[in-house]
């Protein structure tokens, strides 16, 4: 079978060769080969006409020329088809590249720029651009341009229906014009025409970007010379516009997705934060409840809340004294606590938070949170709940202290009423109540200022008694109403007895006045131990209160040692030497150090009734010497040394000093 096929093929070739030999037009073959070469090399259209012209110049027969003319026409058709295929291939390549950009890029600007650039390249125009609608302004604006040189054109805005682009956006149909300047199909405006003129554009084509039948933009290509755009070019630009619409829709979907993810992340963060806050609040509630049930103290609550909130907690009493933590520095804390009390919530104070500790309308103290300026609502509620727990603990402590103080107050009342009846029994009874009467104590006698001689009202005494209990809250002191006054028994501090009593009396007067809201006079007896000595100290404190009232110092606090010569008269110890040293000390020291006679000069001056002349005769010195010595006395004792009250003290001290020397 193969041999037969071979023979048939050979026969066909022989017939072909024979026909070629008998062909009457052998001159057309070179021309045909030349046409094929031109097609293969992609020569210009003008080169094909040269083949027929060369054959005619070579004297080819008419039949050959006719055949060459037909072949040239066919070659031009093939050439045109190949050129269309190449252009279509380039267009498809550009479309594929654009689709690849859409798939690979998340940058909308980059994709739109690539589409506009390819539209300019494929259509061979001088420029290309894309406009998008501005829904807020109600017009369209230039989104992307390529090949533009005019800033005015690049910032051009088109209203709906104005110009070629406005008509495309309004009708959702493509429009092209070979010369925009003379085309009356479009509504020309001064702004648009000025921008087109500044860019130098003449021929313009615009196609809509359609998405679901809605125009979302317009894609343009334009030349700076007259040009008619073919249907293929319109179709190509429409395809690129479809890609641009897809890019815009994808970008919008991506932006919406990102926004949704951001919202979900935000919501998730809020949920996590809320869940953590709820869990922390639950832990805080359980922790605080456990502390209350276990009978914890205020410092324990402060430490627990500080751990839960991650800050530093300070608890202050009603007077601003710290009960736990460090006292908050700076001014304005009382105002912040008042604002918290008025609002019923915690309030910011600088970089801290303040919450009033309330029991009804009474402020028991203040909570201060530092180190957490960014307190959220959950932590703020936990901080406020801590103030409620603190108020409960303070009320419990006050209730216990008041109960204990009543029992101890009965001991104090019995001690002051009949100290000599059973001293040993009183001491043993005090020991059972946690009060060691065998150790030194200070007895403070407090009365409302200006109420001497039994004129204090029951209401004033009751308020003073309550204030005394709060003043001694947390200490080992006790208080009780006795007669017209309130008596406080507090452990004595180390140091000079007179100094201790004076400091305690002044401090008690100042604190009790703040707690009661009216002035309080406090007298202090010297430190004493044992029932009999404590009763005597109480009597001395009473005498100091009376002396303060007589001297017009109601609302003050003092001990016998601080009352000068009155203290010598009122005190049980009659510390003459201490009074002399306190009154004449600077003069005695100056005389001892300098060898002068200031004390003798002062005594002579008083003995002579303040007469300088008689004093100089008494001292046997010149009057100027007396004046100079008295000037030195004034420097050492103060300018009031010669005032009646002060001179009385000085004269008494001089007499006592003279007696002690004899």
- Tokens representing 181 are 């300047």
Which of residues 643 and 569 earns the better pLDDT score? 643
Residue 551: pLDDT band (50, 70, 90) is low
- The mean of the pLDDT values for the chain is 78
The pLDDT value given to residue 129 = 94
- pLDDT of 662 > 90? The answer is no
The pLDDT value given to residue 89 = 66
The pLDDT value given to residue 497 = 45
Which of 40-54, 151-165, 412-426, 452-466 shows the highest mean pLDDT? 151-165
- Tokens representing 522 are 């406090």
C-alpha 520/C-alpha 466 separation (Å) is: 13
Query: Cβ distance 74 to 87 under 8 Å?
Result: no
C-alpha 623/C-alpha 616 separation (Å) is: 5
Segment 439-443 shows an average pLDDT of: 85
Segment 414-424 shows an average pLDDT of: 74
The pLDDT value given to residue 373 = 72
Which of residues 501 and 221 earns the better pLDDT score? 221
- pLDDT of 403 > 70? The answer is no
Query: Cβ distance 185 to 162 under 8 Å?
Result: no
Which of residues 448 and 580 earns the better pLDDT score? 448
Strands annotated E in 147-189: 157-159, 175-177
Pick from 495, 487, 502: nearest CA to 558 = 502
SS (H, E, C) 246-273: HHHHHHHHHHHHHHHHHHHHHHHHHHHH
In the chain, the percentage of residues whose pLDDT exceeds 90 is: 9
What residues form DSSP beta bridges with 111? none
The H-or-E segment that residue 322 falls in is strand 322-324
Q: What is the pLDDT of residues 467-486, one digit of tens each?
A: 887 787 767 777 878 878 88
- pLDDT of 96 > 70? The answer is no
The pLDDT value given to residue 25 = 43
The pLDDT value given to residue 131 = 92
Rounded to 10 degrees, the C-alpha dihedral 597/599/605/609 comes to -160
Query: Cβ distance 337 to 327 under 8 Å?
Result: no
H helices within 495-611, ranges in order? 497-516, 531-550, 565-570, 576-594, 598-607
Which of residues 140 and 45 earns the better pLDDT score? 140
The pLDDT value given to residue 239 = 84
Residue 89: HSE in the Cβ half-sphere, 13 Å Cα cutoff: 6
- Tokens representing 212 are 């679901």
The pLDDT value given to residue 409 = 65
SS (H, E, C) 602-644: HHHHHHCCCCHHHHHHHHCCCHHHHHHHHHHHHHHHCCCCCCH
The pLDDT value given to residue 206 = 93
Of 8-12, 158-162, 266-270, 483-487, give the lowest mean pLDDT range: 8-12
Supply φ then ψ for residue 250, to 5 degrees: -65, -40
**Distance (Å) of CA 77 to CA 39, 70, 541:** 10, 11, 135
The pLDDT value given to residue 8 = 45
The H-or-E segment that residue 341 falls in is helix 333-343
Using only C-alpha atoms, the chain has a radius of gyration, in whole angstroms, of 57
Terminal Cα-to-Cα distance of the chain (whole angstroms): 172
**Distance (Å) of CA 234 to CA 184, 242, 632:** 20, 12, 118
| Local structure of 107: helix, strand or coil | coil
Segment 11-22 shows an average pLDDT of: 41
The pLDDT value given to residue 220 = 94
Q: What is the pLDDT of residues 168-197, one digit of tens each?
A: 988 899 999 999 999 988 889 988 999 999
What DSSP letter does each residue of 35-73 carry, written as one string? HHHHHHHT--HHHHHHHHHHHHHTT--HHHHHHHHHHHH
The pLDDT value given to residue 493 = 61
What pTM does this model have?
0.41
The pLDDT value given to residue 105 = 56
Which of 347-356, 580-589, 627-636 shows the highest mean pLDDT? 627-636
- pLDDT of 31 > 70? The answer is yes
Segment 439-463 shows an average pLDDT of: 74
Residue 302 CB partners (closer than 8 Å, separation 6+)? 313, 314, 315, 324, 325, 390
Segment 437-454 shows an average pLDDT of: 74
The pLDDT value given to residue 10 = 42
Residue 571: pLDDT band (50, 70, 90) is very low
Query: Cβ distance 126 to 223 under 8 Å?
Result: yes
Query: Cβ distance 559 to 523 under 8 Å?
Result: yes
- pLDDT of 633 > 70? The answer is yes
Pick from 604, 598, 607, 606: nearest CA to 619 = 604
Q: Vertex 305, ends 302 and 309: CA angle to 5°?
A: 135
- Tokens representing 313 are 């907690």
Query: Cβ distance 496 to 526 under 8 Å?
Result: no
| Local structure of 340: helix, strand or coil | helix
């Amino acid at each position: 079978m193969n041999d037969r096929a071979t023979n048939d093929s050979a026969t066909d070739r022989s017939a072909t060769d024979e026909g070629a030999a008998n062909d009457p037009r052998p001159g057309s073959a070179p021309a045909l080969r030349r046409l094929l070469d031109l097609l293969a090399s992609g020569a210009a259209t003008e080169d094909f006409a040269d083949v027929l012209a060369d054959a005619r110049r070579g004297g080819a027969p008419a039949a050959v020329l006719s055949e060459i003319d037909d072949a040239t026409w066919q070659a031009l058709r093939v050439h045109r088809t190949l050129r269309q295929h190449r252009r279509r291939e380039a267009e498809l390549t550009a479309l594929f590249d654009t689709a690849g950009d859409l798939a690979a890029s998340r940058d909308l600007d980059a994709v739109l720029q690539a589409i506009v650039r390819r539209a300019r390249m494929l259509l061979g125009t001088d420029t290309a651009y894309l406009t998008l609608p501005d829904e807020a302004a109600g017009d369209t604006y230039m989104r992307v341009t390529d090949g533009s040189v005019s800033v005015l054109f690049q910032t051009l805005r088109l209203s709906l229906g104005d110009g070629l682009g406005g008509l495309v956006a309004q009708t959702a149909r493509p429009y092209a014009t070979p010369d925009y300047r003379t085309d009356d199909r479009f509504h020309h405006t001064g702004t648009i025409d000025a921008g087109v003129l500044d860019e130098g554009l003449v021929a313009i084509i615009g196609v809509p970007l359609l998405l679901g039948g809605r125009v979302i933009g317009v894609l343009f290509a334009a030349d700076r010379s007259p040009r008619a755009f073919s249907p293929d070019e319109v179709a190509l630009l429409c395809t690129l516009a479809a890609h641009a619409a897809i890019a815009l829709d994808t970008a919008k979907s991506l932006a919406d997705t990102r926004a949704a993810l951001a919202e979900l992340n935000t919501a998730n963060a809020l949920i996590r934060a809320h869940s953590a806050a709820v869990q922390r609040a639950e832990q805080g509630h359980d922790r605080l409840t456990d502390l209350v049930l276990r009978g914890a103290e205020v410092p324990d609550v402060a430490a627990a809340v500080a751990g839960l909130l991650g800050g530093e907690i300070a608890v202050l009493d009603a007077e601003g004294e710290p009960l736990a933590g460090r006292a908050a520095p700076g001014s304005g804390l009382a105002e912040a606590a008042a604002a918290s009390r008025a609002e019923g919530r915690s309030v910011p104070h600088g970089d801290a938070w303040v919450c009033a500790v309330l029991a009804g309308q009474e402020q028991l103290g203040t909570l201060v949170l530092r180190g957490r300026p960014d307190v959220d609502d959950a932590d703020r509620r936990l901080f406020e709940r801590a103030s409620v727990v603190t108020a409960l603990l303070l009320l419990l402590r006050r209730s216990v202290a008041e109960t204990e103080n009543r029992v101890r107050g009965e001991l104090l009342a019995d001690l002051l009423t009949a100290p000599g009846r059973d001293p040993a029994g009183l001491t043993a009874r005090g020991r059972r109540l946690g009060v060691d009467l065998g150790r030194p104590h200070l007895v403070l006698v407090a009365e409302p200022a200006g109420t001497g001689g039994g004129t204090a009202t029951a209401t004033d005494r009751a308020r003073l008694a309550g204030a005394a209990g709060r003043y001694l809250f947390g200490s080992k002191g006790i208080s009780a109403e006795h007669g017209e006054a309130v008596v406080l028994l507090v452990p004595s501090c180390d140091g000079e007895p007179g100094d201790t009593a004076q400091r305690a009396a002044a401090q008690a007067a100042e604190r009790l006045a703040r707690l009661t809201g009216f002035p309080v006079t406090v007298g202090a007896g010297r430190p004493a131990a044992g029932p009999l000595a404590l009763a005597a100290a109480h009597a001395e404190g009473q005498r100091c209160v009376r002396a303060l009232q007589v001297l017009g110092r109601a609302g003050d606090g003092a001990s016998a040692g601080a009352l000068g010569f009155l203290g010598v008269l009122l005190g049980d110890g009659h510390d003459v030497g201490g009074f002399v040293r306190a009154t004449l000390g600077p003069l005695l020291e100056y005389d001892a150090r300098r060898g002068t006679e200031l004390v003798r000069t002062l005594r002579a001056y008083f003995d002579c009734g303040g007469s300088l002349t008689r004093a100089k005769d008494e001292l046997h010195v010149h009057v100027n010497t007396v004046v100079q010595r008295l000037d030195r006395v004034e420097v050492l004792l103060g300018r009031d040394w010669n005032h009646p009250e002060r001179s009385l003290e000085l004269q008494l001290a001089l007499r006592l000093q003279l007696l002690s020397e004899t």
